[in-house]
Structure 1
């Protein structure tokens, strides 16, 4: 059975800019960047004091996305 659909996949990286460049080189398109922190981020991860830089890249057809995340805190 083949993959029918992929909506969103998250990957934690150490070098966010390098990861973005890697996936863009593979043909993906940058979609946006943001910093995530606060109670919602803490609840989603089960950690306290989460601060995370995230970037989204998508496939050229727009159907699949990768969420690239670099955690700044906690260490």
Structure 2
């Protein structure tokens, strides 16, 4: 059996509305919001009795999704939002944008901060990392040429 696709990446946040606003400003579209709860959900995650509010965001091309989750129950048990890029585990999502400078200006209004610098990789990309809502690490790439 072959892999068919990657459905989504999940990010746990405290402020779901703020995260939705940030990723909308980046260019993702809100596909929908829902509550995930019940015995079936706890069996999938191994968390037992859970109550989670989710928002599914979709990239403009329709191929990628970002699932934002806010846990109401059980309580969040770990926080790696301030981890540097060389920390173990899932750490960042990378998005290709038309114009990094414009994107940085728009996301700055939502609290985004540049981590290092915007750099040029050969004549292929301009790249940078930002800290978005709640310290989430986001990569931005602008194709050149």
For residues 16-67 of structure 1, give each alpha carbon's deviation from its aligned partner in whole angstroms, at most 9, with x where no partner exists: 0011001000000000000010011101211121000000000001000000
Cα RMSD (Å): 1.2
Structure 1 residue ranges without an equivalent (≥5) = none
Matches within 5 A, 1:11-50: 11-50=11-50
Instruction: Work out which structure has the larger RCO, using CA pairs closer than 8 Å and 6 or more positions apart in sequence.
Output: 1
TM-score (norm 2): 0.47
TM-score normalized by the length of structure 1: 0.88
Q: Moved runs in structure 1, 4+ residues, more than 3 A?
A: none
Gapped runs of 5+ residues in structure 2? 76-145
Q: Distance in 2 between matches of 1:43 and 1:20?
A: 27
Structure 1 residue 7: deviation in Å?
2.8
Aligned residues: 71
Structure with greater Cα Rg: 2
